[in-house]
A and B are shown apart, each in its own frame.
Chain A
Amino acid sequence: MIRNVNDVTALIDRRFGAGLARPVSLLRTLVWVVVGIYLIGLLAPAPKAGLASIPYNKVALRHTSVRDLILDKNDARGWVQRRKDPSKFTIAWIGGSTIQTVRTYHHGFIPVDVTRRLPRINGKPVRVNMYLMEASRIYDLYAATAEALRSKPDMLVLDLNPIWLFNPNAIQSWPNFNPAVLGSLITDPGNWPLLAATDSPTDVALSAGGSHLGAVRNRWSYAEKLRSLVNNLSPKPKTIDPKVTPPRLTGVALVASMQNAYAFWNAYRLIPANTPVSKRYPAFMAQAKTDGSALNDSIVARTLQMIGKSRIPSVAYTSAVNPKELADPSVDATLRRIESHLGAIAGHNSFPTLRVQSRSAVRYVTGLKFRDMVHTTFDPPIVDYLSGVICAQLKRSRPTSTCAPTPRTASR
């Protein structure tokens, strides 16, 4: 007869053999938890993340020698690890949206256009592993660079967007990289201060778990399956009359409509919400901190050190900005400040195989067209420039290299 808690405890002990009552029992239970997670990964394997799962590879890059390796922004696997083909000359190209050219009915990529000017290097067909992270910030570039170097490419090209390079308020935009790259970065004690600043205990635990347990590593794929199941259970959404324009929400009503915190920070960002669209990018760039106190400096320095120590021929260049913006003396002065600071950091971290082009490409290249301050719509001039820089740096690093850009044709 159950009269009190002791009777309940006694009953459970009789029926369940006093399971979990002792520390050793708890330990055995934890072992079963790990075994269970391992078995789930084996018995219900998630689809592997491959090149074919990345949208750009399906269409825009299909008939090119360039492949985008970056997975969904929420996928903790970060990127596809592509096996190196020794019969190809592999370039790892890392950058944000500034390595794209976007205009109506056309979606292009600067690395693709460069491979058309440099189809062969050292007698081998050129292949580009592109680490394209739209809206990337400096820490994302650092993480992607660590991964790219691990794949041991024949050459590395890094695009640095001056808008965000030294902005201390926007250092990371792809936190899903943290577990993916921790294993690579933690082996170098020089990275530990940065890792301590950016990685959470969750990142460490999930990185450790994900390295051995497929169910942890592939959780994004499981999440996609779960979401499609849940969506099937949801009621059908109300049809929206296309003739009726919904009212534009502002203030508290706008905030109340937001589904996640990210939407809030995107709307109420680092600059006043009423900043005209044409002034937003210059306002972001003006926030650059170049007095040596920003964490950005450490990230840039570590990135250059990582690249230099790898001894892989590399180019890090500051992407071009719209020359029309430089008509404003304050914008030009800000850009010069950023260029000078990057140049100083590069000077303290110089390596024979690394070329750092700290001045924005707009100082060297004319004829580019832009749709805003940093996104090009016409890229042949920068393609000419980068093709030449790549060959020059390769020959400087490896004097026996054969590399010569083909002439630009009317169609390219």
Chain B
Amino acid sequence: MTKTRSKVTKRLPRYLTEMIIGLILAILIVLALAATVGSVPFIYQGF
């Protein structure tokens, strides 16, 4: 038990890094998807 806890404690910085980077990427991806949605207006002329 102590050995396991020590293992987890040792790896905690790694897990935290993965989580934070993952969440930041998620926010950036959602922002990028929203930013790249087209804004083509309906151009009725000639249709």
Contact = CB atoms under 8 A, between A and B. Distances in A.
A31 interface: yes
Interface stretch (A34-42, A56-64, A123-131, A381-389): A34-42
Interface in B14-47: 14-19, 21-23, 25-27, 29-31, 33-35, 37-40, 42-47
B10 interface: yes
A280 B46 contact: yes
B15 to A, nearest CB: 7
A103 interface: no
Given A17-B11, A40-B30, A222-B34, A73 B40 contact: yes
Interface in A257-301: 260, 262-263, 266, 269, 280
B47 to A, nearest CB: 4
Interface residues on B, range: 20 to 34
A73 B27 CA distance: 25
Please classify the interface of chain A as helix (H, G, I), strand (E, B), loop, or mixed, using the class held by over half of its residues. Answer: helix
A36 B22 contact: yes
A135 interface: yes
Please classify the interface of chain B as helix (H, G, I), strand (E, B), loop, or mixed, using the class held by over half of its residues. Answer: helix
A135 B47 CA distance: 5
A76 B47 CA distance: 22
B8 to A, nearest CB: 11
B22 A134 contact: no
A16 B13 contact: yes
Contacts of A73: 38, 40, 42
A251 B27 CA distance: 42
Contacts of B23: 32-33, 35-36
Contacts of A37: 26, 29-30
A333 interface: no
Interface residues of A, number: 43
Given A15-B13, A16-B13, A223-B37, A135 B44 contact: yes
A33 B39 contact: no
Contacts of B44: 97, 134-135
Given A32-B25, A36-B26, A222-B30, 11 more contacts: A19-B13, A25-B18, A28-B15, A29-B21, A32-B21, A35-B26, A40-B30, A215-B30, A219-B30, A223-B37, A262-B40
